[in-house]
Amino acid sequence: MCTLSLSDCSIKEYKFTQKDLKVITRACDRLNDLELDIISLLKTRETKGRLDEKIVDYKLKEDFYSATFTTSRYVGFYSTTINSEPVMIEIKPRIGESVRNYLFAHALELYLPKGESGQEKSSSDNLWLMALLWRAMVEKAITKNQIPKTYQKIEKNQSYFRGRLNVAKQIKYNLIDQSKFYCNYSKLSYNNKINQTVRYCYYLLKKYKYNNAVKGFAEYDAMLNDFGVSNQPVEIKDIQNIHYTPMTKYYKPLMELSKNLITFKHYQNTSNLRQKNSIAMFIDMAEIWENYLYNLLRKNLPSEYEIENPNLTGDYELFEDGSRKVRPDILIRKKGDVKGDVIAVIDAKYKRYTCIGKNAKEIGAVSREDLYQMMTYLCRFGEENKIIGKENKIIGIFVSPFNSTEGNLKILKDSQNQQIGVLGIELPESNQNKDEKENLTKLQDNEKLFIEKLKGYLLK
């Protein structure tokens, strides 16, 4: 089997035989042409279809034995077959284990004990991300709603009347013995496909040796068992046929992810891969980064500031007729008014941004599209401040996982109250020669520097 293992947001050169290189590059082309359903934490990003950027790009060298591979912000894996040859493309987070667990624990608001990974040493690395996501989605669903109960149709011959009489079967079975009633009725039951899927995925994750990722679920699983929920295999079509109600809608993202976990069990050996089946599972690290940053600001900025996530609160109209809307990643408001004025727009960018730059071609510079988008945000929320009688300045900050090379914000020409800049929270990359605890300490130091610098910008 040909395997290409890469890290996100990276550029790396590999050498292969001409045959293997041809197979791998064809698999990359096929992956980039797929219509993907990117797994989302909160279903706030409906990324479904062909992506606007390549998950992995490549440039062949002149010798035709090597190529330079460039990856984007997506992590996950893709397995397929090219000319009956199994191919696996893996893209893993470039950060070390301790930093990775810390980032995901804060983004998903999960508790991961120190020193514990989301996976066991012996297991595949392909599923650990989805194991953590699955755990987070179960906890969110349980928090927002009770254990789902659904009505089940019951048809029973019994000694008391309930529901509606089944006349045909009443005549057939009870014509002589009229002490019984053949009834049709509905009964609320815990034994439905949602709860069955939760139990089955819990079983699968234990089978794949992800015990740490689902630690604490044994009691919940036992409770479902006590409520009469059967522990049996669930098929993809069963999940697709689930009808969601206002009481069960919070379980839909969980069920979508569960479909991927169930699908994965068919791809545990190369014999299945040789059947010309393909599977792709990817997660957008930009969403992880955004959630991590939102929770970091909520917990560390002074109480005089209100941190808003428009992905949770809703879009903002751009025009008076409501024809177009905008949705920044994070808004920082100053408390004290009926609706505090926006003093900062935060754009969480999981990209190699280190500066605004003199132009978009400069290394580490913000792209033209992202810069124009930020200017639109400042115009929109700067005008909102004027409406509520404020002329305060408003700043726009791109926050990336790389160190910033610019010391100050840039002032927009002819608009002294609007400034734009780049701040970074450097994520230490995986290094076998470096202590994982040292990387985590470095990240926490970087967080403190970021918060202090941001507070300084907010106070100016």
Asked if 48 and 38 touch (Cβ cutoff 8 Å), the reply is yes
Shortest CA distance to 253 belongs to which of 460, 441, 46?
A: 46
pLDDT attached to residue 389: 53
Mean pLDDT (whole number) for 247-276: 70
Q: Indicate if the pLDDT at residue 91 is higher than 50.
A: yes
- What is the band of 4 on the pLDDT scale with cuts at 50, 70, 90? very high
Residue 433: count other Cβ atoms within 10 Å of its Cβ. Answer: 4
More confident residue, 124 or 411: 411
Which residues have a Cβ under 8 Å from the Cβ of 19 and sit 6 or more positions away? none
Shortest CA distance to 238 belongs to which of 253, 255, 225?
A: 255
More confident residue, 167 or 124: 167
Cβ burial, residue 418 (10 Å; 0-12/13-18/19+):
buried
Mean pLDDT (whole number) for 433-439: 75
- What is the band of 396 on the pLDDT scale with cuts at 50, 70, 90? very high
pLDDT attached to residue 98: 83
Rank 157-166, 200-209, 227-236, 291-300 by mean pLDDT and report only the highest: 291-300
Q: Are strands 66-71 and 11-15 parallel, antiparallel or unpaired?
A: antiparallel
Query: pLDDT for 406-421, tens place per residue?
Result: 888 998 888 788 999 9
Q: Which of 211-215, 293-297, 397-401, 436-440 has the lowest mean pLDDT?
A: 211-215
Cα 349 to Cα 45, 264, 301, 343: the distances in Å are 15, 30, 20, 19
Return d(Cα 347, Cα 325) in angstroms, integer: 16
Mean pLDDT (whole number) for 130-158: 83
Q: Which of 52-61, 110-119, 391-400 has the lowest mean pLDDT?
A: 110-119
Mean pLDDT (whole number) for 261-271: 61
Q: Which of 10-24, 342-356, 431-445 has the lowest mean pLDDT?
A: 431-445
Structure tokens at 441: 């300490």
pLDDT attached to residue 437: 81
Q: Indicate if the pLDDT at residue 159 is higher than 70.
A: yes
- Name residue, tokens 């659904």: 150
Domain boundaries, the chain: 1-93+269-284, 95-148+194-266, 150-189, 301-459
Q: Indicate if the pLDDT at residue 198 is higher than 70.
A: yes
pLDDT attached to residue 122: 35
pLDDT attached to residue 134: 84
pLDDT attached to residue 299: 95
337 Cα distance to chain centroid: 34
- What is the band of 205 on the pLDDT scale with cuts at 50, 70, 90? confident
Return d(Cα 122, Cα 208) in angstroms, integer: 9
Mean pLDDT (whole number) for 23-36: 89
- What is the band of 275 on the pLDDT scale with cuts at 50, 70, 90? very low
More confident residue, 366 or 459: 366
**C-alpha R_g of the chain:** 27
Q: Where are the beta strands (DSSP E) in 271-322?
A: 279-284, 305-308, 316-317
Give the predicted TM-score (pTM) of the model: 0.79
Mean pLDDT (whole number) for 371-388: 82
Rank 274-283, 301-310, 413-422 by mean pLDDT and report only the highest: 301-310
Structure tokens at 262: 């169930």
More confident residue, 74 or 391: 74
Return d(Cα 278, Cα 86) in angstroms, integer: 10
Which residues have a Cβ under 8 Å from the Cβ of 21 and sit 6 or more positions away? 60, 64, 65, 66, 67
Structure tokens at 384: 């909102």
Q: Indicate if the pLDDT at residue 369 is higher than 90.
A: yes
pLDDT attached to residue 111: 66
Asked if 310 and 100 touch (Cβ cutoff 8 Å), the reply is no
Return d(Cα 358, Cα 340) in angstroms, integer: 34
Question: What value does the mean pLDDT of the chain take?
Answer: 84
Q: Indicate if the pLDDT at residue 199 is higher than 80.
A: yes
Shortest CA distance to 343 belongs to which of 292, 317, 306?
A: 306
Mean pLDDT (whole number) for 318-330: 90
More confident residue, 420 or 83: 420
Q: Is 83 helix (H, G, I), strand (E, B) or coil?
A: coil
- What is the band of 117 on the pLDDT scale with cuts at 50, 70, 90? very low
Nearest-5° angle of CA 455, CA 457, CA 460? 110
Mean pLDDT (whole number) for 143-152: 82
Mean pLDDT (whole number) for 159-167: 90
Q: Are strands 11-15 and 316-317 parallel, antiparallel or unpaired?
A: unpaired
Percent of residues, the chain, with pLDDT higher than 90: 39
Structure tokens at 399: 């926050």
Q: Indicate if the pLDDT at residue 48 is higher than 80.
A: no
Structure tokens at 383: 């005008």
